Chains A and B, each alone.
Chain A
Amino acid sequence: MKLDLDLSRRHFIGRAAKSFLGVSALASLPDVSRAAGAGASSAKQVATAKRVIYLYMDGGMSHLDTFDPKTDGEVMGPTKRIDTKVDGLKLSDNLPLLGRQAEQLAVVNSMISTQGAHKQGNYYMHTSYEIRTSIRHPAMGAWLLKFNGRDNPSLPGNVMIGNNSSHPGAGFFEASLSPLMLRDPEGGLQNSEMSRGMTEERFNFHRSLAEKLDQPFVDRYDQKNVRAYTDMYADAIKLMRSKDLAAFDLSAEPEALKVRYGKNPFGQGCLLARRLLEHGVRFVEVSMGGWDTHNSNFINVPTQAAGLDAAFSTLLDDLQRRGMLDDTLVVLATEFGRTPEINSNEGRDHHPQAFTCVLAGGGVKGGTVHGKTDERGAKIVEKPVKVGDFNATIGYALGLPLDQVLYSPSMRPFTVADKGQPLVELFG
């Protein structure tokens, strides 16, 4: 039919234009103001990391009281600095367990951000782009899935454990790349079991009935959004029946291990993350709040750090024992650091000019310190690392093409870490 032909030609042209880079049809768009992908790094390696656990410290973790302690008493307050077995790598006394595993950590002390407010800083760290009102950018997990797809087709590829309503998620990518949001790691996956009273036979019977009733509709409206629902229902049922659903069940873990991780949402979230990774989920984010210590910094940071210390150190140890650490990248990130000046509420305020993030596993050289801040932790004196550079490093570990441009539905070009340059010296 002639109509079909015209339609399919338009389809082809539309799709072709989207997949070619910098093609003339797109270059003539008025708002493509720079060459697509310009400035992005062309560095690429064979992936040393297949999967990521992304630990996000929400609120702006004080670098001085954790991974970048100093000796100036006025700056440090009651927090002390401790040595580790790695020369040059010093941690605060709030992280004693991690101190004993320093040889696994690559500490980036010279992070710098342009965003000093929570929403903007959080978004910037997760996406490498600044917040705009016109578009939502994808977070790292979605980028990874976009390039590499899922490992286990019956489980979601991307999971977020924690409480973050404004997580950018899949941004402008398709919703199937969105992270599955799990607020309570000990509660399991919502709605993953048949409702009470429903049996397997009933379930299948009604499913096939629904399919039969739907067939004329589906035949008539052979459209993308309808097909998407067909796919999602199939995926959901596969998930329900999958043995991998057990990944969400923490009761299978020994009690002693649960205690070591810490009986709190973050600790149990890290344990769940390890399980999900074992079952083929590629990217799991676990977030911990309570780091916005404008008040009572020296009460609140030790409390939060105790939880971080237990969970992070146990996670690294657990991954190593299972032989997973070499190809699992563990990331510790936060939106900014905190001021060396202690305010009138015994607290520290926001400080994006210098802060610390940490990498471990996934081919990254442990026992290293990258970059340096001054003796008060206020300014960077060596090797500043922008947020984009940090995310480029994550992409590099995963073997992602950092300069590959992908277009949003509104035809705007984006790369996984914008113009970030990866820290290749961190890799063996």
Chain B
Amino acid sequence: MAKSENPYVGQDGDLRKAASEILFPVRFNNILSADRALRLPKDYQYDDANPLAVVKPSTLFGQEAVLSESGSPIEAFGEWLTSPENPRFTKVIANRLWKRAFGLGLIEPVDDLKENSVAPNAPLMDYLEQLMRDLDYDLQTYQRIVYSTRAYQREASLEEPVPGAPYDFAGPILRRMSAEQIWDSLVAMTVTDPDRPDRARVLTGDKRLAEVQLIAEAIYDQEPAQFLRNLREVVKIQSELSLRIEAGEKKVAEAREKGDPDLVKQAAAEAKAIKNELDHRIEEVVYRDGLQRKLNGLKGNPAVEPASKVTGSASSGETGDLIAGERLIGEFARTLLANYGTFEEGMAEVAESKRSGIIGELIDAMFSEREAALRIERGDARAAELAAWNVKDREAKAAYRTFDRVIRDRMKRASEMTQPSPAGHFLREFGQSDRELVENASHDASVTQALAMLNGPTLSSVTNRYSVLMREMRGEKFENRLDTIYLTMLSRLPSDDEKAVFREAWAADPESGTVTGIVWTVLNTRQFLFIQ
């Protein structure tokens, strides 16, 4: 295609293209807030207002929102939304927390309350609403009260609620554990500290945020003239590369003529590599320039002195206060000074290494202390376990390796994992919400769930000899082990009938009485999945 026919060619178009390339990494950083009146469209058809009339903020129900001179509309909205006088606010939360305890709300569905939504047990709903107001929305106390009721403490009702018909709350309803509850139960059986936060993941998250932060600082502090100069530089790079892209396209076309799929793939890969090169070159030209400028500005600043040991990043806890404006570039400056003699040397060293681009290098340098600390911590924990659990022979060591590297990595609490999990994961199979809607979890049964419980890796994780369950197994006698398993998995001791069933089974087949076998058996009962 002839370039001259491209409507985007021309000064403005090229500059705009260059600008969008440069600003791409920080595209989520800006919120446009226009302080102008909202008006109806000029072809407004209805009788209730004129076209182009100003739309004043108003509320759908309850009281009118009060707009003060100084306050913003969003603050007024917040006040209205959370007001104890708002007919929905208190009702919704009181209802939802009731559902959390009993498995069913007083009004269903809990996320679709309407003007005419009335609980079949209206006095109870009113009481709970008032209770919530009286407690000043202390959710913990509200729940403590609900959990202390006799109704809650009864076993799950035998009566199955009928959709559309009122339910009497003789007790909570029988409900299956949510996907997260099932998974977390397995995690609790396997690892000692299921509530431990996933610090490695937090670190990765912080690094990504820091990266965007650095780029933003590099760009936004530039003088307009400087930025324009950089744009022109990028335009030059882009036009140079687009010639190569055109050549790449030709190569792809030729490869297709030849009918060789591998050649096509190769040509396409080469073309993509050109795009990567563009990213790197922009980084060099634009960001580095901005960062250098920033660093120069910091020179002579008493706040920036060579750090002797650990920079602020490692010791400021998991989340850290990294994302706090000027502090970030200051951190970076300190790191540079600590590791290299001067800023210039540092920048030069870092720029030399082409591994992950300049920004990547900077981030690695800034977080190296924290990463090291994490590694040390993990190493210490490992050493302590090896000693405490007496891991000596080869078999034990192999089992420990599996436990430490595979199982512990996999068995994290649902809330510590990326949400939603990828399709096919245990959590998704058991109905974890895909987050496409506000509440999209499912408690339905499926074949793949059954397959996962029957044949999946959950059993080997839970019965690895270093799992909590296995280490807690008390006593030599199987009766004691049975007690441990039942208490762990079903929160009760086995009944005499159940013990008899097991004894009968062991009598028929003495080999069957293994712990693994019993765990598998209980794991695949229906009562394991349901909350009674």
- Residues of A participating in the B interface, judged by any CB pair closer than 8 Å: 7, 10-11, 14, 17, 30, 74, 77-78, 94, 133-134, 136, 156, 163-166, 174-176, 178, 180-181, 183, 189-195, 198, 202, 205-207, 209-210, 212-214, 216-218, 220-221, 223-226, 228-233, 235-237, 239-240, 295-296, 298-300, 302-303, 306, 341-346, 409-410
Chain A residue nearest in CB terms to B501? A212
Query: A306 CA to B156 CA in the complex, in Å?
Result: 58
Question: Assuming A74-B5, A213-B525, is B450 touching A235 (CB within 8 A)?
Answer: yes
Q: A175-B444, A207-B524 are in contact. Are A236 and B8 (CB under 8 A)?
A: no
Q: Which residues of B contact A10 (CB under 8 A)?
A: 162, 165
When chains A and B are docked, how far (Å) is the Cα of A346 from the Cα of B17? 12
Residues from chain B with Cβ under 8 Å of A183 in the complex: 423-424
Choose from A166, A180, A342 the contact partner of B447 (Cβ within 8 Å). A180
- B218-268 interface (Cβ within 8 A of A): 242, 245, 248-249, 252-253, 256, 261, 264-265, 267-268
Tell me if B525 and A210 are in contact (CB < 8 A).
Answer: yes
Residue of B nearest to A233 (CB): B450
Shortest beta-carbon distance from B520 to chain A in Å: 6
The reply on B32 being an interface residue by CB < 8 A is no
Show 18 residue pairs from A and B whose CB-CB distance is below 8 angstroms, ordered by the A residue. A10-B162, A74-B1, A175-B446, A190-B448, A190-B451, A206-B521, A206-B524, A209-B502, A214-B527, A217-B526, A223-B174, A233-B524, A235-B450, A236-B451, A236-B454, A240-B451, A299-B267, A346-B245
Contact at B446–A232, with CB atoms within 8 Å?
A: yes
Per-residue contact bits, chain B 516-528, to A (CB 8 Å; 1 contact, 0 not): 0100111011110
Chain B residues engaging chain A, CB cutoff 8 angstroms: 1, 5-9, 13, 17, 109, 112, 116, 156, 158-160, 162-165, 174-176, 242, 245, 248-249, 252-253, 256, 261, 264-265, 267-268, 271-272, 275, 420, 422-424, 428, 431, 434, 436-438, 440, 442-452, 454-457, 459-460, 497-498, 501-502, 505, 509, 512, 517, 520-522, 524-527, 529-530, 532
- Of the candidates A78, A183, A225, the one having the most CB atoms from chain B within 10 angstroms of its own CB is A225
Chain A residue with the shortest CB-CB distance to B502: A209
In the bound assembly, the distance between CA atoms of A216 and B500 in angstroms comes to: 14
Given the contacts A14-B165, A190-B424, A192-B451, A225 and B1 also touching, CB distance less than 8 Å? no
Within the assembled complex, what's the spacing in Å between the Cα atoms of A222 and B372? 56
Which residue of chain B is the closest to A221 with respect to CB atoms? B174
Q: Which of B116, B275, B460, B497 contacts A195 (CB 8 A)?
A: B460
Q: Using CB atoms, name the residue of chain B closest to A206.
A: B521
CB contacts (< 8 Å) of A229 on chain B: these are: 176, 445, 450, 526, 529
Residues of A near B275 (CB, < 8 A) are 295-296
Residues of B within 8 A of A214 (CB): 525-527
- With A202-B517, A232-B447 given, name 11 new contacts (CB 8 A): A17-B164, A165-B434, A175-B442, A180-B448, A191-B456, A195-B455, A207-B524, A213-B521, A226-B174, A299-B267, A346-B245
Closest chain A residue to B250 by CB distance?
A78
* A236 in contact with B450 (CB, 8 Å): yes
Q: Which chain A residues border B526 with CB–CB below 8 Å?
A: 214, 217-218, 226, 229-230
Known contacts A175-B442, A180-B447, A409-B163: A78-B265 contact under CB 8 Å: no
Supposing A10-B165, A195-B455, A206-B521 touch, asked if A163 and B423 sit within 8 A by C-beta, the answer is yes
With A165-B434, A209-B521 as given contacts, are A176 and B444 in contact (CB-CB < 8 Å)?
Answer: yes
Most buried by B among A11, A74, A231, A303: A303
Decide if B249 touches A299 in the complex (CB within 8 Å).
yes
A144–chain B nearest beta-carbon distance, Å: 18
Closest to A78 in B: B253
A-B residue pair count with CB separations less than 8 angstroms: 205
Q: State which of A134, A209, A221, A232 has its C-beta within 8 Å of the C-beta of B156.
A: A221
Query: Using Cβ atoms and an 8 Å threshold, which residues of chain A touch B13?
Result: 344
Structural contact, B446 and A191, CB atoms closer than 8 A:
no
- Of the candidates A190, A198, A306, the one whose C-beta lies within 8 Å of that of B264 is A306
Residues from chain A with Cβ under 8 Å of B529 in the complex: 229
Question: In the bound complex, do residue A133 and residue B438 qualify as a contact, i.e. CB atoms below 8 Å apart?
Answer: yes
Q: Tell me whether A176 and B512 are in contact (CB under 8 A).
A: no
Q: How far is the CA of A302 from the CA of B256 in the complex (A)?
A: 8
A297 nearest in chain B by CB position: B249
State whether B264 touches A202 (Cβ < 8 A).
Answer: no
Indicate if the CB atoms of B158 and A220 lie closer than 8 Å.
yes
Q: Which residues of A contact B249 (CB under 8 A)?
A: 78, 296, 298-299, 346
* CB contact between A11 and one of B156, B162, B267 (< 8 Å): that residue: B162
The 4 A-B pairs with the shortest beta carbon distances in the complex, nearest first, are A175-B444, A236-B450, A344-B8, A228-B445
The residues of A that contact B116 with a CB separation of less than 8 Å are: 30
Q: Are B268 and A299 in contact (CB under 8 A)?
A: yes
Q: Quick one: closest B residue to A234, CB to CB?
A: B450
- Given the contacts A77-B1, A226-B174, A191 and B423 also touching, CB distance less than 8 Å: no
Give the complex CA separation of A298 and B255 in angstroms. 13
Select from chain A the residue with minimum beta-carbon distance to B455.
A191
**Using Cβ atoms and an 8 Å threshold, which residues of chain B touch A299?**
248-249, 252, 267-268, 271
Instruction: Tell whether A223 pairs with B160 under 8 Å between CB atoms, given A134-B112, A214-B527.
Output: yes
Collect the chain A residues with CB atoms within 8 Å of residue B162's CB: 7, 10-11, 14
Find chain B residues with CB under 8 A from A239 CB.
447, 451
Min CB–CB distance A58 → chain B (angstroms): 14
Point out the residues of chain A lying under 8 angstroms from B452, CB to CB.
190-191
Nearest B residue to A163 via CB reads B423
The residue of chain B having its C-beta at the shortest distance from the C-beta of A411 within the complex is B164
- Max chain A C-beta neighbours (<10 A), residue from B6, B9, B109: B6
With both beta carbons as reference points, the residue of chain A lying nearest to B13 in the complex is identified as A344
For A181, give its contact among B253, B264, B272, B423 (CB under 8 Å). Answer: B423
Residue A410 contacts which of B109, B252, B447, B505 (CB distance < 8 angstroms)? B109
User: Which residues from B are CB-within-8-Å of A156?
Assistant: 447
Assembly CA distance A214 to B17 (angstroms):
66
Contact (Cβ within 8 A) A210 B446:
no
Which B residues are in CB contact (< 8 Å) with A240? 451, 454-455
A341 to B248, CA, bound (A): 21
